[in-house]
Chain A
Amino acid sequence: MARMKFLCDAERCIECQACVTACKNEHEVPWGVNRRRVIVMNDGRPGEKSVSVACMHCSDAPCAAVCPVDCFYTTADGIVLHDKDLCIGCGYCFYACPFGAPQYPQQTAFGVRGKMDKCTFCAGGPEIAHSEEELTKYGTNRIAEGKLPLCAEMCATKALLAGDGDIVADIYRKRVMRRGGRPQTWGWQAAYGQDA
């Protein structure tokens, strides 16, 4: 069985935010909830790099380990999903996640957050695939249609890769071998000089 993974090639990502927009539009994600975001390191300085981050669908997911109601489950494809009917909105998965993936519709006094929402790898949730409940709670289910996550499918520079971890790793390995591991031989510095 495939083990689904995301990989963002920081040498290709151009911070166009298409993955973010695609995700929000596809799943009708409410305002203030961000399943995917682009983080720019050294913004505005030479060597600036951007990485698109969402749920990494960890093999040993910290969110699942700390959940008091045990609402997380891993599909046969290695996708980490959660059951919003069980979620109590305690916020523990948000503390535990290294990538800041868990989101909530509210942030108010007395710890009222609402149900947690996060990237589903476009695989919906525990409801029947393509049902109205699944659509409203978790968004569309592209995996059930045999399609990969829309963010990666939309990526213009093919920086964001999604799919079977082995295939994603092979694609990335071939890229590295072709362009060389050191970006100074082909990247910004090669084009504009070492000091640029």
Chain B
Amino acid sequence: MSAESELKRRQRRWRSMLWSLVAILVLSVALPSLGYVMAQQFYGAEREFSEDRATNPRSDMWRDAREGQGGFTTQTGPYVTNTLISNVGENWRQIRTGPMTTWGGWFLIAVPIVIVLFFLVFGRVKLEEERSGLTVRRWRAYERALHWFTAASFIILAITGLSLLFGRTVLIPLFGPQGFAAYAQGAMYVHNFLGPVFSVALLAMIVLWIRHNIPNRTDWQWFKQGGGIVGKRHPSAGRLNAGEKVWFWLGVVVLGIVVSVSGFVLDFPIFGQTRETMAIAQVVHAVAAIIWIGFFFGHAYIGTIGTEGALEGMTRGRVDVNWAKQHHDLWYEEVLSSGEQPVSEEALKKSKADRQAGTAAGQASH
């Protein structure tokens, strides 16, 4: 009896709890909706928002201005613009004073450090055999003149260009504002006037040397063997090895043209190019130039202290036979098969003396 009534009581308790829960859920939706129903009843359906709550009719104009849309202005002048707000400037400023200077700066510090470490670990690539005393011609006089003119202007352009990018951080503390401004004024003009001349020399270089730089199967082998820079083996190479071809195609051709074209956009602001175009051109110019300068450090190292006997090919124009055999064996064979004979130092001196005597005699006879 008591057990049965206990069960009933528990059932009743469960039932009442369930119903109150359902009631709470239903009412929590129904009661707030009542307000909507009453609003419909008393205020009428879907009231229009009042005029003063509509969007400001001027908002679109300000939105257009903020997005850089142009208007009309009566003023004229080379630097008068019809835009209220140009958005490129702040973005350009963030890039130039941010990643361009910090990453670019560290990159230009890191590359020479890596090269010095490489030199300390692997040392210079020496001639395996003694100098033979016999030389063959590698670069003609006009080729050397072109190379050194381009090299000298590259270095001047790099120093003046980097001065404009990093001078404020590095050189103003050294020279003071007046001293640096005077230098920067000169640096800017040297950069602006030498740049186009450099581009012409660069173009001549591309035209002149493109035939030596056509990639072939030997280059693939050269890459596979790491170019012989590290270790004892010396892969075969023609007149120019694959590493030199990479410098030609990536350095001279790609980076050279990118830097020249972007530089032209900046240097000749007379074709109606906008601030946007010029700010973008400045980023392209500086980033490509920084990469190119890093690449140049490598080229200069390999061509001078990195490789014994390499520099004289570009200074005197002649290289030792043993250097040619070691570094450019296929080219050396070509030279021999073309009928050119290696010449000794004495023979060179003698022919030079003969030539001078000849010209002297020629002048005397006049």
Contacts and interface: CB of A to CB of B under 8 A. Distances in A.
Do A and B belong to a common assembly?
yes
B231 to A, nearest CB: 45
A86 B193 contact: no
A37 B172 contact: no
Contact of A32 (B77, B89, B269): B77
Most buried by B among A53, A98, A103, A112: A98
B278 interface: yes
Interface residues of A, number: 61
Contacts, number: 167
A49 B58 contact: yes
B269 A34 contact: no
Contact of A34 (B69, B75, B189): B75
Most buried by B among A20, A50, A68, A185: A68
Interface residues of B, number: 59
A183 B59 CA distance: 11
- Identify whether the interface residues of B are mostly helix, strand, loop, or mixed: helix
Nearest to A51: B84
Interface in A158-183: 180-183
B49 interface: no
Given A42-B61, A68-B167, A109-B270, A183 B56 contact: yes
Contacts of B61: 10, 41-42, 47, 49
A100 B275 CA distance: 9
A37 B188 CA distance: 30
Given A34-B77, A109-B268, A183 B92 contact: no
A71 B269 contact: no
Given A96-B89, A183-B57, A107 B84 contact: no
Contacts of B64: 41
Given A47-B57, A111-B266, A90 B93 contact: no
Contacts of B73: 37-40
Contacts of A53: 84
Interface of B: 51-52, 54, 56-58, 61, 64-65, 69, 71-90, 92-93, 96-97, 164-165, 167-168, 172, 177-178, 180-181, 184-185, 188-189, 192-193, 196, 266-270, 275, 278-279, 282
8 contacts: A37-B80, A40-B72, A68-B184, A83-B177, A86-B177, A90-B188, A92-B282, A110-B189
Interface of A: 10-11, 17, 20, 31-34, 37-43, 47, 49-51, 53, 62, 65-71, 83, 85-92, 94-100, 102-104, 106-112, 180-185, 189
